[in-house]
Amino acid sequence: MSSHTGKFGEYGGQYVPEALMPAIEELEDAYQRYVLENEDGFMDDFRARLADFGGRPTPLQHAKRLSERYDRDVYLKREDLLHGGAHKLNNALGQVLLAKYMGKERIIAETGAGQHGTATAMACAHLGMPCEVYMGRRDINRQRPNVFRMRLNGAEVNPVTVGRGTLKEAISETMRDWATNVEDTHYVIGSVVGPHPFPAMVRDFQRVISEEAREQIREKAGRLPDSVLTCAGGGSNTMGVFAEFIPDDDVDLYAVEAGGSSLEVDEEAGVAPNSATLSTGTEGVLHGSRTRVLQDRDGQIMESHSVSAGLDYAGVGPELADLVDRGRVTAVNVDDDHALEGFHRLSQLEGVIPALESAHAAAYVEENHEDLGEVILLNISGRGDKDLETVLEETHGRDIENAPEIETFAETGGFQ
């Protein structure tokens, strides 16, 4: 539990090579002083920049048409309106600013779909820090607009060609860079994963979501919500929107994972056609931390899958894994098809095009609203502009000629 030991029940810790220990210890010390003790007014500076540069506070919107549909009150926490279009800036800005206070001169980061890389590149441009982002070769080809965004903000994008050329390899490569450049470099990790103090520190940078939402819902609904729901990949928006509600025993917390195309695992091929780590994973070590992971019988990390790139990760934050084990958080999952339905429904009913990640949580509310109480808080972790092409492909196939079918979809009343 204690952030000082970096242990959350069985999970967490620091499973890193010796070469990284000096950097980790230096970071622990900086986290303690600047973040927890607000030395030199660090947290005040951070909050002021989240407002000026980031556009915080983000609104809490009473979703009128969804509320009518479910005959209960649904409130949307609009992290899609944060600068950059997702919650990721909260963490990226916090870490780059911390690196600056620590006297570091160079920022490195990993990125999968490019969302964390773009948030880090934005924060670096804002703070005048050189930035290098490691990205799998395959992801670079799949996510060209994000590669361009990072370069526009002055970041260098380093292609990673080992393995499958995706997020897992990009993280390992960034760790290697960090180990050889610990003196002047800070590694901005993208979620509540990795060795201590990252899981606790990233949670504390994302905590602003629930600090705001808890106040906002008391003002708007006159009470706390019965349930809080959000998607979980690594779990940073998840821990962010849960953090302040954890002591509120009457508030149910739901982490919605990616059920992908199936929960069945192909052990032989080492493939999990989902990213439902909390629901189906087992205890193991990934990227410096003991947590729940998708692994085969030999402990090899499996290839994961989700229609939403941001949820496509074979591990999960250790604190979230522990909260699920202790029964404080309920882990559920939603498959690709239902997430796509959720994406369309929220777009049509509320005029909010959510990230495919967030659409998973919206889809869970559709199916289960009767069990979620009278007041529901649904976190919209990001906007869906980045997913338009994926949705088009998934819904209508690659043939752009078929795009007008979107109208047919609306005419049929969508997924009523």
Ligand X SMILES: *Cc1c(COP(=O)(O)O)cnc(C)c1O
Applying CB under 6 A, which residues contact ligand X?
A: 86, 88, 115, 191, 231-238, 310-311, 355, 357-358, 381-382
Instruction: Kindly state the smallest distance separating residue 37's Cβ from ligand X, in Å.
Output: 26
Instruction: Kindly state the smallest distance separating residue 76's Cβ from ligand X, in Å.
Output: 13
117, 133 Cβ separation under 8 angstroms: yes
State yes or no: is 110 an active-site residue: yes
β-strands 282-286, 185-188 pairing: unpaired
Instruction: Kindly state the smallest distance separating residue 26's Cβ from ligand X, in Å.
Output: 24
Distance CA 337, CA 75 (A): 24
State yes or no: is 381 an active-site residue: yes
Q: Which residue is nearest to ligand X (CB)?
A: 382
Distance CA 356, CA 413 (A): 20
Identity of the amino acid at 93: L
Cβ closest to ligand X, residue 182 vs residue 363 = 363
Distances (CA, A) of 292 to 41, 115, 280, 322: 36, 23, 9, 9
Angle 198-206/318-325 helices, nearest 10 degrees?
80
Q: Which of 3, 28, 100, 110 is catalytic?
A: 110
Q: Which of 28, 227, 381, 386 is catalytic?
A: 381
Query: Could you tell me which residues are beta bridge partners of residue 330?
Result: 254
State yes or no: is 88 an active-site residue: yes
Cβ closest to ligand X, residue 72 vs residue 116 = 116
Instruction: Kindly state the smallest distance separating residue 190's Cβ from ligand X, in Å.
Output: 7
Instruction: Kindly state the smallest distance separating residue 22's Cβ from ligand X, in Å.
Output: 27
Cβ closest to ligand X, residue 179 vs residue 329 = 329
Q: What is the dihedral of CA 100, 7, 294, 303, to 10 degrees?
A: 20
Q: Which of 7, 77, 88, 100 is catalytic?
A: 88
Cβ closest to ligand X, residue 227 vs residue 237 = 237
Cβ closest to ligand X, residue 73 vs residue 387 = 387
108, 178 Cβ separation under 8 angstroms: yes
362's CB contacts (< 8 A; 6+ apart) are 342, 343, 345, 346, 354, 378, 380
3-state secondary structure of 83: coil
Q: Which sequence positions are flagged as catalytic?
A: 88, 110, 381
